[in-house]
Structure 1
Amino acid sequence: MNTASASNASAPPAPSPSRHDLHAFWTLADDLQRQTVDHAGALFAFVETASPPRLFSLLAQYRSFTDYYIADIALLIARLPPGRMRSFLADILFDELGSGDATQAHPQLYDDFLASLRIEHAPHDRLPLAANLALLDAARAALVAPGASAAYGVGLRGMGGECVCQVYLARLHEHLVRNPYIREHHDRIDWIFWELHVGEHDIAHREKLRALIGEQIGGMDAGSVAELERGYRDSMAAWQSFWSHIHAAATAPDPRAHARGPGDCAGAGDAPIAQFHLAIGVHDLQQARAFYCDVLGAKQGRSTRNLVDLDFYGHHLVIHQAPRESTGENAFGSAFYGETVKVPHFGMNLNWRDWSALAERIKSRGYGFIDPPHVRMRDLPGEHATMFLADPSGNALEFKAFRNHAEVFATIFSPHTRDTDSLDGLVKKAAAA
């Protein structure tokens, strides 16, 4: 919040937002909420017919937010001035923590719900998606940034946590209860978490928060409505990405269709794969991600601070943040999981047999490598064999063979990935060819 200092008594008081400003904001908020209802409905429609493993994949991913939300609300409370809004959010925090009873804390209630589903799953199915952890970390960083206002925080985590989140949960619940597996086992499932978040309890929270926002913002400076709107928009965008990542992971092709056991490596290595791979530099990573995903329809896979993997209509596109300073040439080195790769480059993702045969072909013709055959991203989703070389004009090419091709864009392990243990042998053979 901006307040005039006591030493500047001659300065005129900051103007309060007009009723028109607040009315325009609520009109906008209502419109965005209607859009969210539609988006959530389309996103969760598949839940009605999803298999139990896919249901668990979707539902388990929400769990990470429950932990982050508690800490974020505490941080927001610390930044608010004394008053009804601060006290109300403190009441919400007390409620989230189980009102003194750890067994009734909301993260525990959600764990109880997941356990009551009795759906078999691998331990890594509960690991949060890396892209969603990045979203949660970014929201927290924005919340505590030195220049962040209280109004921005209320929009980001107050409305974002109590209003936007409730819309997604309500739509998810609507489709969830129609699923055949859920209907069959409805009576044994622990629904307490959902009763709190899609019933009158959460609706009352949302309505009271809305009333207090009008009261709180009315006591702030004229820019507070704009900050409130900015926080709310950021929350909307983050929630859309959060659930879209979960939807993409839960609806991805069944990795078991590509899986192979220890004794079945040769056959899997023969499965046809010819997927184009291109890595390019971009000036603004997030702006480029929005263009390729929102405008062109690509799907986001793994991401780090300086790159984003994209499923570009089945092909493998990677966008790298180009250096801000001029390099004097188009190519640059980009950090990639402990290595430095030359960008731009292109190539192919191949099956194991074709990758090994290509390595032998390159070496048999006396052509050298920029990076010889080796294993990259060991013990991470997307672990693969790779080799880099350059054509006579200096264009960089990369060829890959994934341990499990179902993980080309994955942020979590596919169930059978660790059963395939011949990637090191493949690389040793290629290096010795």
Structure 2
Amino acid sequence: MSTERPRICDSRTDTDRFWALADQLQEQTVGHASDMFAFVEQASPQRLFSLLVQYRYFTACYICDIALLIARMHPGKIRSFLADILFDELGAGDHREAHPQLYDDFLGSLGIEHPAFDDMALADNVSLLERARASLIDPARSIAYGIGLRGMGGECVCQIYLARLYRHLILNPYVRARADKIDWKFWDLHVGEHDIAHREKFRKLLTDEVARMEPDAVHALEAGYRDSMKAWSAFWNNIHDEATKSEAQPPGRRAAIGHLDFGTPVTQRSDQQIAQFHLAIGVHDLMAARQFYCEVLGARQGRSTNNLIDLDFYGHHLVIHQQPRDQTIGNGAFGSAFYGETVKVPHFGINLDWDSWSALAERIQLHDYRFIDPPHIRMRDLPGEHATMFLADPSGNALEFKAFRNHDEVFAVIFSPDTKDIHGLDKLVQSARDHR
């Protein structure tokens, strides 16, 4: 018997089915949240803070995720509405009113001693946030999936958990005793009419938009929403388990939250000397490898998709790829999807400046050596756009050589401000091809 889900061609029927599912999942979430947060009413100040502090890491990631989702969307009412939400999250022009800052003000007003925030994020939740972002920017995922994952997941599902948490929080004896000293502004925005109005408006706009979507887009929206619900459940379960474990149990692993580097880029000139080692390898477990390279060895994470993660490894360019489960590490190469191409892993090479890359391409061609992938441009109009060429040595080892439009974007997930002002990459590749 076939297990393939039948395709629903009636958009109205598809829309009604989706909202029926959304309502059902939200009802389940209300019950889950109510049961989970019941202990908050009698929690000690330390356990209370252990739970409350973990949400701050989502508030920081959410702003970047919404910005990335907006960047992928076409102009329309939902995109404009999400832009309004982003503006609101950022404090409507006043950084002191940005929602992450308001939440930190709330935590500070609780008057509970705690370690530095940078040392408190649960590693499992950091992985959940990073996987969600990887899915959000994955070119293989549709915009509809992203709307379900972070649009509905951020505005609708998040509000349910916060509202239920607040109901139990205000009954806690410690909180009641110092209620007049606590900064409640964050909660006023997120459990009052302000956030409810956001949720209702988003649902109405999305209903109008879904009615115009193709069935496959509605299915992608549903998939994103389901993934969001699963992630939220896991996120809060991790927090609950940590806050309620006995003192005899060891604390959960901590991890640093990845951040986007908004530093001022240096415009790349043709005489700039760049020679950066590049290595791509296969790994059995992508998240376990990320933890090892980032937390144990100190690498910094850059771009990521469902099957690969870019790492700044002491200034060099290391990429870990999820190896197919039926292959053994070190036993042959495999193809890995990469922004519309398939690249051979493992491979190694060098990121070069433009002139050196062009000279190397000419040198290879003068020796009449054949390319696996001839000089071309990859990731056009995306952060990290670059020229690339692939070839193999006589033993079959794959090598890749790159020249980035802006070398500051080797590990970036967003454009540097000056990227669009840097020209010459197309001319560089054309020049390399002319020497063939």
Q: TM-score, normalised by structure 2?
A: 0.56
Change (3 A) 1:256 1:140: closer
Shift of 1:218: 2.3
Residue 430 of structure 1: aligned partner: none
Q: Does 1:201 align with 2:194?
A: yes
Q: C-alpha deviations, 1:342-389, integer Å up to 9, x for none?
A: xxxxxxxxxxxxxxxxxxxxxxxxxxxxxxxxxxxxxxxxxxxxxxxx
- Matched to 2:201, the amino acid is K
Shift of 1:18: 1.6
Among candidates 64, 76, 86, match of residue 83 of structure 1: 76
- Matched to 2:288, the amino acid is T
Q: Describe how 1:289-368 pairs up with structure 2 within 5 A.
A: 304-305=288-289, 324-325=326-327
- Give secondary structure in 2 for the equivalent of 1:57: helix
Shift of 1:159: 0.3
Q: Does 1:230 align with 2:223?
A: yes
Unmatched tracts of structure 2, length 5 or more: 1-7, 252-283, 293-322, 330-436
- Give secondary structure in 1 for the equivalent of 2:194: helix
- Matched to 1:83, the amino acid is G
The answer as to whether partners of 1:67 and 1:107 remain within 8 angstroms in 2 is yes
Q: Distance in 1 between matches of 2:106 and 2:119?
A: 13
The answer as to whether partners of 1:70 and 1:93 remain within 8 angstroms in 2 is yes
Residue 279 of structure 1: aligned partner: none
Shift of 1:122: 2.7
Q: Does 1:55 align with 2:57?
A: no
Shift of 1:285: 7.4
Q: Distance in 2 between matches of 1:216 and 1:140?
A: 23
Q: Distance in 1 between matches of 2:102 and 2:83?
A: 20
Residue 7 of structure 1: aligned partner: none
Q: Describe how 1:342-421 pairs up with structure 2 within 5 A.
A: none
- Give secondary structure in 2 for the equivalent of 1:223: helix
Residue 120 of structure 1: aligned partner: 113
Residue 22 of structure 1: aligned partner: 15
The answer as to whether partners of 2:11 and 2:214 remain within 8 angstroms in 1 is no
Q: C-alpha deviations, 1:24-64, integer Å up to 9, x for none?
A: 11010000000000001111111010000000110001000
The answer as to whether partners of 1:60 and 1:114 remain within 8 angstroms in 2 is yes
Q: Distance in 1 between matches of 2:191 and 2:170?
A: 12
Q: Distance in 2 between matches of 1:106 and 1:42?
A: 27
Shift of 1:252: 1.2
Among candidates 117, 129, 133, match of residue 136 of structure 1: 129
Shift of 1:80: 1.2
Shift of 1:217: 2.0
Q: Does 1:192 align with 2:176?
A: no
Q: Distance in 2 between matches of 1:56 and 1:131?
A: 18
- Give secondary structure in 1 for the equivalent of 2:246: coil
The answer as to whether partners of 1:57 and 1:126 remain within 8 angstroms in 2 is no
Q: TM-score, normalised by structure 1?
A: 0.57
Aligned residues: 263
- Matched to 2:245, the amino acid is A
Among candidates 232, 240, 251, match of residue 244 of structure 2: 251
- Matched to 1:42, the amino acid is D
Q: Does 1:221 align with 2:214?
A: yes
Residue 93 of structure 2: aligned partner: 100
- Give secondary structure in 2 for the equivalent of 1:33: helix
- Matched to 1:118, the amino acid is G
Shift of 1:325: 2.5
- Matched to 2:74, the amino acid is P
Shift of 1:326: 5.9
The answer as to whether partners of 1:17 and 1:220 remain within 8 angstroms in 2 is no
Unmatched tracts of structure 1, length 5 or more: 1-14, 259-283, 287-302, 309-320, 328-433
Q: Distance in 2 between matches of 1:126 and 1:226?
A: 39
Change (3 A) 1:108 1:126: farther
Q: Distance in 1 between matches of 2:117 and 2:107?
A: 14
How large is the Cα RMSD of the aligned pairs?
2.9
Shift of 1:170: 0.5
Aligned sequence identity (%):
59
The answer as to whether partners of 1:103 and 1:109 remain within 8 angstroms in 2 is yes
The answer as to whether partners of 2:11 and 2:213 remain within 8 angstroms in 1 is no
The answer as to whether partners of 2:87 and 2:93 remain within 8 angstroms in 1 is yes
Shift of 1:305: 4.3
Q: Distance in 2 between matches of 1:33 and 1:256?
A: 33
Q: Distance in 2 between matches of 1:247 and 1:96?
A: 26
- Give secondary structure in 1 for the equivalent of 2:93: coil
Shift of 1:323: 5.8
Residue 60 of structure 2: aligned partner: 67
